[in-house]
Amino acid sequence: MRFKDRIALLLASRMGRRMTPQRREAFFGLRTFSLSDLVLFPASAPSSKRLVKEFPFSIRSGRTRKVFCRGKFVSVVESGIGAPSVELVGNLVCKGGAKVLLRVDFCGALSPDVNVGDIFIASSARSFDQVTRHYYGQAQVPADEELLALFTEQLRPLAERARIPVHVGQVCTVDLFFAQTDEMLRSWAQSGEAVDMETAAVYAIAESYDVAALAVMVVTDNKLLGHLPYSADGEKLRKIVTGYGLLARAVREMTPYLAELAQSRVQKTPHRK
């Protein structure tokens, strides 16, 4: 083992002994000493990079990024794709002290009224995955009401100026992507207007730690209407890029309000040992 690796291991060991068990798990899992009360929680690297780009300054901290906006420090952590990945990273983030989780990512549409490029805010999630049931006793998991009201109120005027429709409704969280069939999609459409692979797990895990969570997503496809993901249609790609760009800007502008909400939850929530 190289000398600098031995020093790093020694420092990590000493720091770990000073932490609570939960903080220690978060530290070794995320490889960062600090996590903000507000955590932006995109699923993939492309969505994370576009989100970080919206902030004036960012630095990498282990497996997370720190962005700074209007004097506020915010962590950006990639959840990974699918509920099993959310189960791992979501627990680490909550153990690390997060009080507000904002999933900023993409989803597919199940309703003919929801189009590619639209913004979808998940007021609740219907679980069709295998993870959520282990954390939440019901199939339908709600978003945090206060966070939902705050984000929706702030986002609508921005979206109206950009002429991008905003939908608020239920998303279906499923365990598969390429194996989806029309029969499955029609069945899920009876329970929600959109479909993804993470939101129900995010909401359920956050609820188990008394953490506020909300998913805001840009629609990339509507398979039931023949609008498939990874389309080469330039107009659809433009709408997706424009929609996510607006969402990223909205998150940046709302950061002070979201951070204030997170701080208020820190003061209300007793410290977990």
Mean pLDDT by 10 residues, the chain (273 residues): 53 58 71 87 95 92 88 92 97 94 98 98 98 94 97 96 98 96 97 98 97 98 93 91 96 91 78 43
Determine the Cα angle at 166 with ends 77 and 37, to 5°: 25
Q: What is the pLDDT of residue 272?
A: 45
Q: What is the pLDDT of residue 8?
A: 46
Phi and psi (nearest 5°) for 233? -70, 115
Q: Shortest CA distance to 102 belongs to which of 271, 264, 252?
A: 252
Q: Residue 95 belongs to what H/E stretch? A: helix 83-95
**Coil, strand or helix: which one is 177?**
coil
Determine the Cα angle at 126 with ends 123 and 130, to 5°: 135
Fill in the amino acid letter for 160. E
- Residue 82 gets the label, from left (phi > 0), alpha (psi -120 to 50) or beta, of left
- Where in 78-211 does DSSP place strands (E)? 100-109, 119-127, 140-142, 166-173, 194-196
Phi and psi (nearest 5°) for 176? -140, 155
Instruction: Give the model confidence (pLDDT) of 6-23 as tens digits.
Output: 554 555 555 555 567 676
Reading the block at residue 262, the tokens are 């997170």
Q: What is the pLDDT of residue 271?
A: 46
Q: Domain 18-268's class? A: alpha beta
DSSP 8-state assignment for residue 272:
P
**233 given a catalytic annotation:** no
**Contact of 47 with 104, CB cutoff 8 Å:** yes
Segments making up each domain of the chain, as ranges: 18-268
Phi and psi (nearest 5°) for 159? -70, -35
| Identified catalytic residue from 37, 118, 196, 221 | 221
Paired with 140 in beta bridges are 126
